[in-house]
């Protein structure tokens, strides 16, 4: 309960033993008539004290900490109570002196996230932490730095319902999309007025009420809006407090950027979660050695992790498609080449608004000039991301 007092008592005891042994050695040598050899005897005593009183016990205690602590604690407790009055003085004196001269106590430095990351990596290398635990702990540490806009479902992929839709139309959309929550908007997606819960919508059918008599507005819940730059860790806290599973993400002008679900948040920690209604889509597919076919919606963070590259920081993009558009200054049409960092990005599919599919090769195309930093070839993609694609499926 009072580690500073225990430490002070041990330091006082250690100092008394060292000084006492040196003084006793000199006194005994003088009494025995070896006054001319006091210096030599003191030196020998000091070496023996360091070996058997300092280095050896501390090395043993470090290697056998638990057992040594159980064995030595009764003696430590005895020393603590014997030297407590003197130790108390040594603890209180610097505190009183600090208050007298107006010096604030130096705060104890907390462990940084980088230090925790190093400890996790060290534990994984030494085998004390397995691969699953390492990935989970690393995800938890990174979780506090992730922004909502990095994990949200973008506006172009949001399934939403017009406020004026009929009950039958809403029921059809819920059935076809297999979604449990759908945003409801008025006029455009920039004006979301609520969230439709499929569970409550289907409850009306179970009650035997005719669809024509049911009003959609009865099943709409108040929407929860969050900014793009909110930390995901804070979003999780807010979702728990509000007991909601879906939030509408808005930009700095109040327009709808997308949506984020509780499942999206949890997946940042534990990885992808697929239920029976999910269609698993691999966004990175290995075509051949050093060539990868990527969905343009894959996040920059995932590309950095799996391809072993570092994209420029501060860019106004979160996905591969956004990076290529920002680099080219326009939406690059199919067949366009973008060379950067020792990688060649070939646009395989795109429309007037966005890039859809991109082929990534590690060797620059003939006649192209590479720009940006060069990166070493990354390790092989994890098995979960590998899905060989036959030539006729590449566009």
CB 321 within 8 A of CB 297: yes
Is 306 in the same domain as 214?
no
Judged by DSSP in three states, 271 sits in: coil
Is 219 in the same domain as 320?
no
Domain end marker among 227, 243, 270: 270
- How many whole angstroms separate alpha carbon 385 and alpha carbon 71? 52
Q: Which of 193-197, 228-232, 258-262, 287-291 has the lowest mean pLDDT?
A: 287-291
Q: Is residue 63 part of a domain?
A: yes
Q: What is the mean pLDDT of residues 100-104?
A: 70
Q: Running DSSP on this structure, what letter comes out for residue 277?
A: T
Q: What is the pLDDT of residue 242?
A: 93
Q: Is residue 57 part of a domain?
A: yes
Q: Is residue 163 part of a domain?
A: yes
Is 386 in the same domain as 297?
yes
pLDDT 10s digits, 349-383: 988 888 999 998 886 545 444 344 333 333 333 33
Is 215 in the same domain as 305?
no
Q: What is the pLDDT of residue 210?
A: 55
Q: Is residue 277 part of a domain?
A: no
pLDDT 10s digits, 260-279: 999 989 888 877 765 555 54
The range of the structural domain enclosing residue 251 comes to 148-270
Is 158 in the same domain as 72?
no
Judged by DSSP in three states, 49 sits in: helix
Is 159 in the same domain as 139?
no
Q: What is the pLDDT of residue 2?
A: 66
Is 199 in the same domain as 215?
yes
Dump the DSSP string for 250-280: E-TTS-EEEEEEHHHHHHHHH-----TT---
CATH classification of the domain holding 308: 3.30.465.10
Judged by DSSP in three states, 74 sits in: helix
Q: Is residue 355 part of a domain?
A: yes
Q: What is the pLDDT of residue 316?
A: 77
Q: What is the mean pLDDT of residues 164-177?
A: 87
- The total domain count for the chain is 4
Q: What is the pLDDT of residue 205?
A: 66
Domain end marker among 224, 241, 270: 270
Q: How confident is the model at residue 105 (pLDDT cuts 50, 70, 90)?
A: low
Would the pTM of this model clear 0.85, i.e. be above it? no
pLDDT of 133 higher than 80: yes
- What is the number of helices (H) and of strands (E) in the chain? 13, 13
CB 278 within 8 A of CB 179: no
Rg (CA), the chain: 34
Q: Which helix (H) or strand (E) holds 12?
A: helix 3-31
Is 350 in the same domain as 303?
yes
Q: What is the pLDDT of residue 334?
A: 92
Q: What is the mean pLDDT of residues 134-142?
A: 82
Is 94 in the same domain as 137?
no
Domain end marker among 66, 100, 134: 100
Q: Is residue 50 part of a domain?
A: yes
Is 159 in the same domain as 253?
yes
Q: Is residue 105 part of a domain?
A: no
Q: Is residue 106 part of a domain?
A: no
Is 136 in the same domain as 184?
no
CATH classification of the domain holding 179: 3.10.580.10
Q: How confident is the model at residue 255 (pLDDT cuts 50, 70, 90)?
A: very high
Is 184 in the same domain as 248?
yes
Judged by DSSP in three states, 248 sits in: strand
pLDDT 10s digits, 19-76: 887 777 777 777 766 666 677 777 777 788 788 877 888 888 787 777 777 887 888 7
């Amino acid at each position: 309960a009072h580690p500073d007092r225990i430490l002070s008592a041990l330091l006082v005891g250690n100092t008394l033993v060292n000084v006492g042994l040196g003084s006793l050695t000199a006194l005994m040598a003088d009494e025995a008539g070896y006054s001319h050899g006091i210096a030599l005897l003191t030196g020998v005593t000091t070496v023996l004290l360091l070996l058997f009183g300092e280095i050896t016990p501390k090395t043993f205690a470090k290697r056998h900490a638990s057992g040594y602590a159980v064995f030595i604690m009764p003696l430590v407790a005895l020393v603590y109570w014997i030297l407590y009055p003197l130790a108390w003085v040594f603890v209180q004196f610097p505190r009183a002196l600090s208050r007298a001269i107006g010096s604030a106590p130096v705060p104890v430095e907390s462990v940084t996230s980088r230090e925790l990351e190093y400890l996790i990596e060290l534990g994984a290398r030494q085998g004390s932490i397995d691969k699953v635990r390492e990935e989970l702990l690393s995800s938890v540490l990174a979780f506090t730095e992730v922004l909502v806009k990095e994990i949200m479902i973008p506006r172009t992929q949001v399934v939403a319902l017009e406020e004026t839709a009929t009950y039958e139309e809403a029921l059809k959309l819920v059935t076809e999309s297999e979604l449990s929550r759908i945003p409801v908007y008025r006029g455009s997606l920039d004006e979301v007025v609520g969230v439709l819960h499929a569970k409550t919508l289907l409850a009306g059918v179970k009650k035997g009420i005719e669809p024509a008599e049911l009003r959609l507005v009865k099943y709409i819940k108040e929407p929860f809006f969050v900014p793009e730059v909110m930390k995901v860790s804070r979003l999780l806290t807010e979702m728990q407090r509000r007991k909601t599973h879906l939030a509408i993400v808005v930009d700095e002008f109040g327009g709808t950027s997308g949506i984020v679900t509780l499942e999206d948040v949890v997946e940042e920690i534990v990885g992808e979660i697929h239920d029976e209604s999910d269609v698993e889509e691999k966004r990175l597919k290995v075509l051949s050695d050093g060539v990868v076919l990527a969905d343009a919606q894959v996040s920059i963070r995932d590309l950095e992790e799996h391809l072993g590259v570092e994209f420029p920081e501060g860019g106004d993009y979160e996905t591969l498609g956004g990076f290529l558009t920002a680099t080219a200054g326009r939406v690059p049409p199919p067949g366009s080449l973008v060379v950067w960092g020792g990688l060649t990005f070939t646009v395989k599919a795109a429309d007037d608004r966005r890039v859809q599919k991109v082929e990534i090769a590690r060797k620059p195309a003939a006649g192209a000039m590479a720009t940006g930093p060069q990166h070493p070839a990354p390790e092989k993609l994890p098995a979960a991301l590998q899905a060989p694609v036959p030539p006729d499926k590449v566009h």
